[in-house]
A and B are shown apart, each in its own frame.
Chain A
Amino acid sequence: MKNLIIAAAALAALTTASQAQAIRIGTEGAYAPWNFIDDSGKVAGFEIDLGNELCTRASLECTWVVNEWDTIIPNLIAGNYDAIMAGMSITDERKQTLDFSDNYFPPDPSKYVAAAGKTFDFGNLSGVRIGVQGATIQAAYAEESFRSGNTILSFETADQALADLNAGNLDLILADGSYLAEVIAGSGGSLEFVGPDVMIGGGVGVGLRKADDELEQKFNAVIAEAKRDGTLDALITKWFPDKGPGPFFE
């Protein structure tokens, strides 16, 4: 038994030494066009394109790990992967448990969506069923703003919230505008944006463990580079056509 443990320890030490530049990136795989499982069964999307590009530039060898949204931060802390790229907004609350790289997507308004033709008094919402994805900035905002007099339902994925909106089980959904844009465009007029935009979150960045300062600097350096040479703008335009050609960063 003891020999086995020593062998395992030696093996672990050896593998970490020889592949120091290999990291795993956690993503949700259910948040198109940010990250999703494509028809070939592999992860794809804006963040997968960007992440692979950043890894190449920083000479990191990256592999993708699909993890459910609600446990995505705990599993980063536990070391199941080394970075999160999952459309995660930079917020002060999250910064207490993890670090973020500089943003690779500018602060983006959250929007309300409802069945076409429905109107709401947004100054004084009451008796409304609001759907959000759990553990998101929108969930926190809805909980804070509409708790009394309304029903807030949280879903595991954003798509499930939309399915319930289509089924008539919800009146409103609050979600990232960048995620909703293509959904509304593809709904054939049955869904539309309503009410005011809500500005929450400080853009989207790579989530990292607090101790991994070196990795954070690497990501910051290549993100800045991709911003400077227009690669990042081009990727945003490719995956979020309604955003236009940019530039998105000053």
Chain B
Amino acid sequence: MFDLLPEWMKNGIGDDLLFWLGYFTNGKHLAWYASVQFTLTAAIVGAAFALLFGLIGATLKNSAFAPARLIGSGYTNIVRGVPDVLFFLFFPLAFEQLAELVLAQAVCTPLELASASGRWPPCADANWYLDTFQYLMLACVSLGIVYGAFTANVIHGAMRSVPHGQLEAARAFGMSPAQVAWRIHIRQMWVYALPGLSNCWLLLIKSTSLLSLLQIADIVLWAERLGAPNFTRSAGLVHPDWRWYYYLVLLIFYILLTFASEKVFAALTRRASRGMAVASAD
């Protein structure tokens, strides 16, 4: 990449620096930088799912209908207790198996189904090969389910924190229950929910480092590949175990991401508390 520079510029930069510039911009490293997209996609889409599941969970928990409350609290209590790594591995694989099971009933011949003792999937046509995008989407849904449980609790708590007088006043104005919920209750809920939601978001960001468990070539997997020792000249630069350095870069990346998130949440909180009596509810 830097071979094209004019000679005087090369001399100015120096051979050593030129070599390292070249090394850090080779295809392998570019693939690493590009893989940030998987981490950010998982974080953002995962958070969207988490918010969706959180709102559903909180609504169920607030419901006047007892079985709905049971489902809501069952979801939050069970999922919050399961380690996220476990769920992250379990959900996509279980989903794939289930899809293959259903697919097998549709495409395998009865003979194949009967004779396939111990073979999975029962016939080759029922085999579903997940590509990176599909794994990424399953990962987002898994993150959504896990952090949705935390989010549901945060939102549930925030809904109860909205002063009762506000809701009564809204009803006195003649608003319908839907109007009260949407215009007053949920609108004011955000101020109380944001500090908790920012916690959930940071936990979710940390969990995006698990993507490599699902064969997604994310920043963690590339850092491992790039840092792995190499002793064969035909395979590129010979170097000892450098994973330490690459992991350090990841550490800094996540810290910067946290820092940026805090700024965004501070801005969101300012916006949500405009005109609210609770002013700086942090």
Residues of A within 8 A of B (CB): 5-6, 8-9, 12-13, 16, 24, 29-30, 32-33, 36-42, 44-45, 66-67, 78-80, 157, 159-160, 162-163, 166-167, 182-183, 186-187, 211, 239
Contact = CB atoms under 8 A, between A and B. Distances in A.
Provide the main secondary structure of the chain A interface.
Answer: mixed
Given A39-B26, A39-B27, A41-B27, A33 B232 contact: yes
Contacts of A186: 231-233, 238
Nearest to B93: A78
Given A159-B229, A160-B241, A187-B231, A12 B27 contact: no
A38 B240 contact: no
Contact of B228 (A67, A160, A166, A167): A160
Given A32-B232, A80-B129, A239-B234, 14 more contacts: A9-B106, A12-B107, A16-B124, A32-B230, A33-B232, A38-B235, A40-B26, A40-B28, A45-B235, A79-B124, A167-B241, A182-B231, A183-B231, A186-B238
Interface string B115-140: 00000110011111100000000000
B30 interface: yes
Given A9-B103, A159-B230, A183-B231, A39 B128 contact: no
B232 A163 contact: no
Nearest to A66: B217
B28 A24 contact: no
B107 A24 contact: no
Nearest to B120: A78
A63 B29 CA distance: 22
A5 B102 CA distance: 8
B235 A33 contact: yes
Interface residues of B, number: 33
B102 to A, nearest CB: 6
B106 A6 contact: yes
A156 to B, nearest CB: 9
B31 to A, nearest CB: 4
Interface string B213-235: 00101000000010011111111
Shortest Cβ-Cβ A-B pairs, 6 listed: A40-B27, A32-B235, A32-B232, A41-B31, A9-B106, A41-B27
Given A13-B125, A16-B125, A41-B30, A5 B229 contact: no
A163 B215 CA distance: 25
A11 B145 CA distance: 28
Contact of B234 (A6, A16, A33): A33
A187 to B, nearest CB: 7
Contact of A5 (B106, B215, B232): B106
Given A6-B106, A163-B240, A183 B27 contact: no
27 contacts: A5-B102, A5-B103, A5-B106, A8-B103, A16-B124, A24-B129, A30-B225, A32-B232, A32-B234, A36-B232, A37-B28, A38-B27, A38-B28, A38-B235, A39-B236, A40-B26, A41-B26, A41-B28, A42-B27, A66-B217, A78-B120, A79-B127, A159-B231, A160-B228, A160-B229, A186-B232, A187-B231
